[in-house]
Amino acid sequence: MPDRSHLRPDHPSNYSLYTVQLGDSLSRIAALRKGLRASDLAWLNRMPLDQPLRIGQRIKLPHQQSLDAGREAKNKFLALAYYMDTHGGKLPPNPAKPPSLESQILDSNWTRQSKNGYDFHIDILARLRKAGGRLSLGPTGARSRRNQLQAGRPDRRPSDDGGHFIASRFNGPSDSFNHFAQDANFNRGAYRAMEDSWAKELRAGKKVIVEIIPKYIGTSRRPNSITVTWEIDGKHNFQFFPNEAKGRASGKR
C-alpha cells in the first residue's frame, strides 16, 4: 500500500513550530488559524488542554493549507455518505466531486404551500425556492408591513425593499414566504415593468401563468438572482434578473 503518512496532521510537513510568547494560551495561538480550536492544538501537541504554557515553549501549529485540505476531505466524505444514504447506496455521477452536503440538504425536502391560487415551495431554512400559478387581477391582496421589513434578514442590504414574489395586485399572499429582500431599484424598475406587462395582458383577457425561481448563495436568505418564466396564451417567455441595482435582465420578452 502507498505510504500516506504525509497526510497525517502530525506529519512534520503539515505544521510549523510556534514559540510561545508572554500572554499566549492555546486559545490565542489557535486563533492564528481559521477553523482551529484549542482542543485541536492540545491533541496535536499531546498535552492537557488546561496545561499552562511556558514562554519559549515550542508548539506545533498546523499550516492553514493542511487544515483546509482536511476540512475539505471531511466535507467530501460526509457529502458522499449522505448522497449514498439518500439514493439507495448508489454513488453520485462523479464520486470524486459529490454535491456538497449543504446543497443536498437545502435542495431537497421542500414543503409546499398553496394560497390564493398560487403554489409556494419552501426549503428547511424557510426560504422560497419556487413560486407559480395562473395570475389574476384582484382582489388586491393585503400587505404585511412586518414581513416586508423582515424579508431577507439578516442578509438584507440597506438598499433593499421587502419585495413580493407574487405581487399583491395579483392577489399574492401577505405571508413571509412571498417576500424577499429585493434591491430597491430592481424592485421599482425591471421587476415592476415585467409585472406591468403581465397586468396589461390580463386586462386584455389573456391567460398568464408564471413560475419564479430565486437562487441563493449558500445559506443566505437574500436571493442573488431571480429567474422568471411565464406563458401568455401558451407563448413562453423567460427573464433572468440579478438582484442588484444595475443588474440588467436577460431573456426573451
Complete domains list, the chain, with CATH? 5-62 (3.10.350.10), 72-103 (no CATH), 109-252 (3.40.570.10)
Residue type for 59, please?
I
Predicted pLDDT at 102:
87
Neighbours of 51 (CB within 10 A): 10
The phi and psi torsions of 154 (rounded to 5 degrees) equal -95, 10
pLDDT at residue 249 above 60?
no
Predicted pLDDT at 109:
84
> pLDDT tens across 185-234, in order?
999 999 999 999 999 999 999 999 999 999 999 899 999 999 999 999 98
pLDDT at residue 165 above 60?
yes
Q: Are 220 and 201 in contact (CB under 8 A)?
A: no
Any idea of the CA torsion for 94, 97, 102, 107, to the nearest 10 degrees? -30
Mean pLDDT along residues 169-174: 95
Predicted pLDDT at 86:
87
Buried b (16+ CB within 10 A) or exposed e, 13-23: ebbeeeebeee
Q: Which of 90, 142, 78, 98 is nearest to 116 (CA)?
A: 142
Distance from C-alpha of 96 to C-alpha of 111, rounded to nearest angstrom: 31
Residue 151: strand pairing partners? none
Collapsing DSSP to helix, strand or coil, 58 comes out as strand
